[in-house]
Amino acid sequence: MTDYRKYLEPRVISRIQGIDLKARLVVEGFITGLHKSPYHGFSIEFAEHRQYMPGDEIKFIDWKVFARTDRYYVKQYEDETNLRCTIILDASASMNYASQGNIAKFEYACYLAAAMAFLMMKQQDAVGLALYDTDIRTYLPAHSKKSYIQEILRTLGSAVPTRQTGTAPALAQIAERIARRGLVIVLSDFFDDVHAVISALKRFRHSNHEVLAFQILDPRERDFNFGYDALFRDMETGEEMTTQPQHIKAAYTHALKEFTEKLKKHCRERKIDYMLLDTAQPFDVALLQYLIKRRMIQG
């Protein structure tokens, strides 16, 4: 594995101290990877600049950038926000699950949220953050001031998943708080009633927000490879059950596929972008999806 790729691996990032350093290394690995991949057209090298437009003062042209690109760019100021984004993170107890050899879903979601926020700030976007379980636990409205990233990262670094899931009512409350149109990114396992979840996501679309929904699962939640005997405990209620996984694997995988396909179908019908991830996947899978969405929004 090349050096830049290792910082996109969840288990590597989990061993690094400090969520600010984790976020920076993931973004640096992602940007380096873009330059080395077929997606090199997604340039964010001059994220703090914008192209010169008629009417801009010549004194604001960055001549160093012109020397490298043969194009005119002017420095972009903090109030020239490109995009407004709110990252919404499921902080319920079910997100605390981690199978052997993998990081917890909540940990994965936190690192991904931190990297996205860091990347957005580099692109002069306004970023906000919301954490929820059965209710809104934290709400930080979107801002583009560079120092604001530290408050977002501190919030992510200190968050602990607790309580049961109430995705639908919590998302409905968050939708009421986001005043200005923008991009909404939801990170959750979506272990809730699928129709209630879709109804809640629809509220963002009714307010003309663009929506990216990332369903984050553990690899064992996807393949159910638990061996011969296993003790299952509900992360939210504490209820336990001992069983032989191979006897129920077929029924479980069928039910999960039906659930995720239904979620994906309803999202597609409502023009909500949906992606299924697991905690063993590199972070660039989701970051590239975000970048594609950002490009589509900005035309």
Fold category of 84-298 in CATH: Rossmann fold (3.40.50)
- SS3 (DSSP) at 64: helix
Tell me: pLDDT of 204 over 80. Answer: yes
Tell me the two tokens of residue 22.
Answer: 């984790």
Cα distances (Å, whole numbers) of residue 89 to 31, 109, 120, 205, 240: 24, 7, 16, 18, 26
CA 198-193-195 angle, 5° bins: 35
What DSSP assignment string belongs to 63-119?
A: HHHHHHHSS-EEEPPTT--S-EEEEEEE-SGGGG---TTS--HHHHHHHHHHHHHHH
Strands 126-132 and 136-143: antiparallel
Average pLDDT over the chain reads 86
Phi then psi dihedrals of residue 90, to 5 deg: -75, 115
Instruction: Give the residue-averaged pLDDT of 233-261.
Output: 75
pLDDT tens readout for residues 8-66: 999 999 999 999 999 999 999 998 887 666 554 555 544 456 677 777 777 778 787 77
Structure confidence at residue 224 as a pLDDT band (50, 70, 90): confident
Q: How far apart are CA 82 and CA 183, in angstroms?
A: 11
Kind and range of the H or E element at 227? none
Where in the chain are the domains? 3-75, 84-298
Residue 230: predicted pLDDT: 57
Q: How far apart are CA 294 and CA 2, in angstroms?
A: 27
Q: What global pTM score does this model have? A: 0.83
